[in-house]
Amino acid sequence: MGIRLVTGGVRSGKSRFAESLCVKEGKPVVYLATSQVMDDEMKARVIAHQRQRPKEWEVKEEAFDLAGVIAEIPTGSVLLVDSLTAWVSNLLMREPLAEGEDPSRWRSRRLTQVESHAHAWLDCLAARDAVIVTDEVGLGGVAMHPISRCFQDALGWVNQQVALRADEVWFVVSGVPWRVKG
């Protein structure tokens, strides 16, 4: 199986498709959830995801240190990371742009941190079976706010790094998966 990247727009069916890839493997699945629940609407989304996945899957929740969690997961299982979108957002907002702070300096620090963390957990994926879920940020326009542009750049870079290492890349549109690579 190797590494499979599943990308697409918000509510495109990415997670459901990624879960189906894991089920087909017939191995134990470890679901690595990256979302932080900060409001009722997000809580409802998380609950919906919990209800759709098999009860026997082991679940690990980690918003920041993916490398640390991945290193502890047995190699005989399939790792499902859902999602890189939330993970990048978590890292960027861990130290939000302070009032009066130079956005260029903030951006540089945040992008360096995202790159460092991404290299660390990508290295941990060597010789593992993994399905990684992310959102495609390259189909829209350039954001108007510096923080939003930083998010687009960071997630776009991470997605490209994962796609380079992935054995398969899938793009999901309106619930329909398209194989892009592999």
Whether 37 contacts 63, CB under 8 Å: no
Q: Is 148 left (phi over 0), alpha (psi -120 to 50) or beta?
A: alpha
Catalytic residue among 49, 117, 119, 145: 49
Cα separation, 64 vs 92, whole angstroms: 10
- Please name which of 52, 50, 51 lies closest in space to residue 61, comparing C-alpha atoms: 50
Q: Tell me the three state secondary structure of residue 70.
A: helix
Cα separation, 153 vs 142, whole angstroms: 10
- Please name which of 18, 174, 151, 19 lies closest in space to residue 94, comparing C-alpha atoms: 151
145 is known as an active-site residue: no
Known catalytic residues?
49
